[in-house]
Amino acid sequence: MSSVLAIDVGGTKAAVRAVTGGTATSGAAAERIVAERTVRWEDGTAAGDLRRLREAAAGLGAGRPDAVAVAFPGTLDAAGVVTRWPTRPSWRGIDLPGLLREWFGVRPLIGDDAAFAAYAETHARDVPTLFYLGLGTGVGGAYARRGDPPERVTPCEAGHVVVRPDAPERCDCGRHGCLQAYASGPRVLAEARWRRGRPVTPSELAAGLRAGHRWAHAALDPAVAALGLTVADLAELLAPAVVAIGGGLGAGVPALTDRVRAEAARRLRAGTPAPDVRPARFGARASLEGAVLAATRTLPVPATNPATNPATNPATDPATGPAADPAATGPTSTTRPASITEPAPTTERKQRHDGRQPARPAPLAVPR
CA dihedral of 21, 121, 154, 322, whole degrees rounded to 10:
80
Question: Is 40 in contact with 312 (CB distance < 8 Å)?
Answer: no
Least distance in Å: CB of 364 to Zn ion?
17
Span of 160-168, 236-244, 286-294, 353-361 interacting with Zn ion by CB under 5 A: 160-168
Least distance in Å: CB of 234 to Zn ion?
17
Q: Which residues contact 242 (CB under 8 A, 6 or more apart)?
A: 121, 125, 127, 129, 130, 131, 275, 276, 277, 278
Classify strands 242-246 and 276-279 as parallel, antiparallel or unpaired.
parallel
Nearer to Zn ion by Cβ, of 65 and 177: the residue is 177
Subset of 176-215 contacting Zn ion (CB under 5 A): 178
Nearer to Zn ion by Cβ, of 169 and 204: the residue is 169
Question: Is 299 in contact with 2 (CB distance < 8 Å)?
Answer: yes
Nearer to Zn ion by Cβ, of 17 and 160: the residue is 160
Nearer to Zn ion by Cβ, of 160 and 196: the residue is 160
Question: Is 137 in contact with 164 (CB distance < 8 Å)?
Answer: no
Nearer to Zn ion by Cβ, of 160 and 195: the residue is 160
Least distance in Å: CB of 178 to Zn ion?
3
Nearer to Zn ion by Cβ, of 125 and 176: the residue is 176
Span of 74-82, 157-165, 269-277, 319-327 interacting with Zn ion by CB under 5 A: 157-165
Least distance in Å: CB of 88 to Zn ion?
17
Nearer to Zn ion by Cβ, of 165 and 197: the residue is 165
Span of 175-183, 188-196, 226-234, 280-288 interacting with Zn ion by CB under 5 A: 175-183
Establish if 173 lies at the interface with Zn ion (CB under 5 A). yes
Q: If you count them, how many residues does the chain have?
A: 368
Q: Name the packing angle between helices 221-237 and 185-196 (round to 10°).
A: 150
Beta-carbon count within 10 A of 315 CB: 11
Question: 160, 195, 278, 353: which one contacts Zn ion (CB under 5 A)?
Answer: 160
Alpha carbon 83 to its chain centroid, in Å, reads 19
CA distance 14 to 199: 24
End-to-end CA distance of the chain: 38
Least distance in Å: CB of 362 to Zn ion?
20
Establish if 33 lies at the interface with Zn ion (CB under 5 A). no
Span of 41-49, 89-97, 165-173, 307-315 interacting with Zn ion by CB under 5 A: 165-173
Q: Name the packing angle between helices 202-210 and 185-196 (round to 10°).
A: 60
Q: Name the packing angle between helices 113-123 and 286-297 (round to 10°).
A: 80
Least distance in Å: CB of 230 to Zn ion?
13
Least distance in Å: CB of 170 to Zn ion?
8
Nearer to Zn ion by Cβ, of 88 and 160: the residue is 160
Least distance in Å: CB of 24 to Zn ion?
34
Establish if 226 lies at the interface with Zn ion (CB under 5 A). no
Tell me the CB-side half-sphere exposure of residue 341, using CA atoms within 13 A: 26
Question: 15, 115, 171, 200: which one contacts Zn ion (CB under 5 A)?
Answer: 171
Question: Is 267 in contact with 163 (CB distance < 8 Å)?
Answer: no
Binding site for Zn ion (CB under 5 A): 160, 171, 173, 178
